[in-house]
Amino acid sequence: MFASLPLTALRAFESASRLLSFKAAAEELSVTPTAVSHQIRSLENWLGVPLFERLPRQVRLTECGERLFRSLHGALLEVAQSVDTLRPQRSGTNLTISTTAAFAALWLVPRLGRFYARHPNISLRLDTHCEVIDLHQDASVDLVVRYSLDDYPNLYGLCLFDEFFGVYGSPEQVALAASRVPTLISVRWHNSKLYAHGWEAWCAQSGETWLAAQPVVREYDEEHYALQAAIAGQGLVLASNILVSESVASGLLLPYRGDIQVDGAGYSALCVPGRERHPPVRAFFAWLQEEALLSGHALIPVS
């Protein structure tokens, strides 16, 4: 069966699909664009279905092409990772994780010491840029932790946390809030609707009339800045129970009206199907599951 597979054509197809460019695939494979085009055309003839739509300045996968790429990309990753584990000269393994700066600073990094202690040979790199990474096209990232309302049917992963938003402040600010209108601390996200009506929803549930009194509102671009402002006693912050957990556990912040909660989105740990079997990724998933359980949050497989 394997002898009849057009392996060279499949490799050219995987590269062109991941890069969405015959020219870029040719550069990656050290061949000409004409050779890549010929290999893909021969694969389409062998399969009897079109794999790409040829547009004037780009190529786009057809539905059949998407199906083939998902399975082929995962299979090639698994083969490459299996071969890599057989190389005796490797004393350690790299693991690259992409996530938000806030999640890294407020939840992940404070716990990473336990991961390093358990897996001293894994070299972990955190990528906290804001750009959303397409894991099927960027092989440099092993795993992402994303914050979203969306599902990810084409990725393997875990839905990490049931999140809600509450109001938190320093002990002094929480004590004063019952007798005066506090300064409100919020987060300004250019790509999220979650904060747009967060204070309105929380005040509506709690019956607090702070917004009608036109309070001072201080906005920050990142959650960790907003939490630091609250810790410093500058006001009350509307914050995720996930990201505020360390500050609450240490007594730096207290919940105000802790029974009032606004639903948030969710955090998911995700990778390309097949990569979850790569030893460093498998180790990180297992550790992440333990940490989430220690934090009192359940994990649910998403695929």
Whole-angstrom distance, CA of residue 200 vs CA of residue 1: 62
Q: Which residues of the chain have pLDDT under 50?
A: 1, 88-91, 191, 298-303
List 218's β-bridge partners, or say none. Answer: 185
**Mean pLDDT for the chain overall:** 84
Whole-angstrom distance, CA of residue 165 vs CA of residue 265: 10
pLDDT tens-place string over residues 218-239:
988 888 899 999 999 999 999 9
> Which residue's structure tokens are 């399969």?
47
List 238's β-bridge partners, or say none. Answer: 167
Q: What is the pLDDT of residue 83?
A: 62
Q: What is the pLDDT of residue 84?
A: 59
What pTM, to 2 d.p., does this model score? 0.65
By the 10 Å C-beta count (0-12 exposed, 13-18 middle, 19+ buried), 213 is classed as exposed
* Angle between helices 33-47 and 22-29 in degrees, nearest 10: 110
Q: What is the pLDDT of residue 131?
A: 66
Q: What is the pLDDT of residue 175?
A: 95
Q: Which amino acid is at 159?
A: C
pLDDT tens-place string over residues 170-184:
999 999 998 999 999
Q: What is the pLDDT of residue 303?
A: 40
Question: Who's near 23: CB < 8 A, 6+ residues apart?
Answer: 33
